[in-house]
């Protein structure tokens, strides 16, 4: 997953074209934890 900054208060998330639901949930979980910890 690629995460790009696009302004001061926004993130642009670019997931792969093919991914499983498990991979999507894992990626969102990591992103959520990262945002919570910052």
pLDDT of 5-21, one tens digit each? 787 777 787 888 899 99
CA distances from 11 to 8, 25 (A): 9, 17
Is the pLDDT assigned to residue 3 strictly greater than 80? no
2-5, long-range: CB within 8 Å, 24+ apart, which pairs?
A: 3/31
DSSP code for 13: E
The predicted model gives 16-33 an average pLDDT of 91
Give the domain range for residue 25. Answer: 2-37
The CA distance from 7 to 22, in Å, is 29
**Number of domains forming the structure of the chain:** 1
pLDDT value at residue 1: 64
Ramachandran angles phi, psi of 10, nearest 5°? -135, 150
């Amino acid at each position: 997953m690629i995460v790009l900054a696009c302004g001061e208060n926004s993130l642009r998330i670019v997931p792969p074209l093919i991914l499983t639901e498990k991979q999507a949930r894992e990626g969102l979980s990591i992103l959520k934890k990262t945002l919570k910890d910052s």
